[in-house]
A and B are shown apart, each in its own frame.
Chain A
Amino acid sequence: GEDVEQSLFLSVREGDSSVINCTYTDSSSTYLYWYKQEPGAGLQLLTYIFSNMDMKQDQRLTVLLNKKDKHLSLRIADTQTGDSAIYFCAENGVNRDDKIIFGKGTRLHILP
């Protein structure tokens, strides 16, 4: 079945860029998402990209999509302590509109 994989942990120094990577298996994916979850909170939709796009930039966030390799990345520029959270990659497929598949989440730890 469809699957979304991401590494579980990432440590980055404050002020550096963070790059969180994700791979997925469904070649019919239409929307790809990044969600952020802070402790004790629900998931916050950070950004999304359509499958016909290669890149999307939104302030400190840059999403890159390599559709050929089914690879999605989220780059956070100038990482701050407030960026410490779990980041989930997710995708919709055109044949299963009502079901978004989520990865297990990458915990981003900020080093002083």
Chain B
Amino acid sequence: ETGVTQTPRHLVMGMTNKKSLKCEQHLGHNAMYWYKQSAKKPLELMFVYNFKEQTENNSVPSRFSPECPNSSHLFLHLHTLQPEDSALYLCASSQDYYEQYFGPGTRLTVT
């Protein structure tokens, strides 16, 4: 595997479910990011981790819970989501915050 990978690529979940999104970067970077991309809205930065420490939490609701066990892996735990949370969730990584490289995204649908 090269670059930034994300699993699953597609996810449908009910509002009472709990699921997790996974991101892995194979670039040796020290920073990782979660973004939300909705139709007709700008890309929204959700969380930033640098060397496993969270450096940014962009006022994200607590139903989204990030986890960064090491510099290569990033998770986004989801619980009791709302239909408006349906979006493309993108993971990215970078070295020292510059030149972010993105994964293919997880298309999430909340029913």
Task: Write the residues of chain A forming the contact surface with B, with a CB cutoff of 8 angstroms.
Answer: 31, 33, 35, 40-45, 48, 88, 92, 97-100, 102-105
Contact (A41, B99) CB under 8 Å given A99-B45, A103-B42? no
Give chain A residues whose Cβ lies under 8 Å from the Cβ of B103: 42
B82 at the interface (CB under 8 A from A): no
With A98-B48, A99-B48 as contacts: A43 and B90 at CB distance below 8 Å: yes
Partner of A31, one of B42, B98, B104: B98
Query: In the complex the two chains form, is A98's CB within 8 Å of B100's CB?
Result: no
Given the complex of chains A and B, what is the CA–CA distance between A103 and B103 in angstroms?
A: 19
Q: Which residues of A contact B45 (CB under 8 A)?
A: 99-100
> Do A43 and B102 touch (CB < 8 A)?
yes
Knowing A48-B99, A98-B97, A99-B56 touch, does A41 contact B104 (C-beta < 8 A)? yes
User: With a CB–CB cut-off of 8 A, which chain A residues contact B99?
Assistant: 31, 33, 45, 48
Query: Chain B residues near A43 (CB, 8 Å)?
Result: 43, 90, 92, 102
For B6, B55, B56, B102, the residue with the greatest tally of chain A CB atoms inside 10 Å of its CB is: B102
> Quick check: B100 and A100 within 8 Å, CB to CB?
yes
CB neighbours (8 Å) of B101 from chain A are 45
Complex contact A41–B105 (CB within 8 A): yes
A41-B104, A102-B43, A103-B42 known; A92-B98 Cβ under 8 A: yes
A100 to B97 Cα, complex, angstroms: 8
Contact of A102 among B31, B42, B50, B105 (CB under 8 A): B42
Provided the pairs A43-B90, A98-B55 are in contact, do residues A88 and B100 lie with their beta carbons within 8 angstroms? no
A78–B101 Cα distance when bound, in Å, is 26
Q: Which of A31, A43, A99, A105 has the most CB of B within 10 A?
A: A43
| Minimum C-beta distance from A20 to chain B (A) | 16
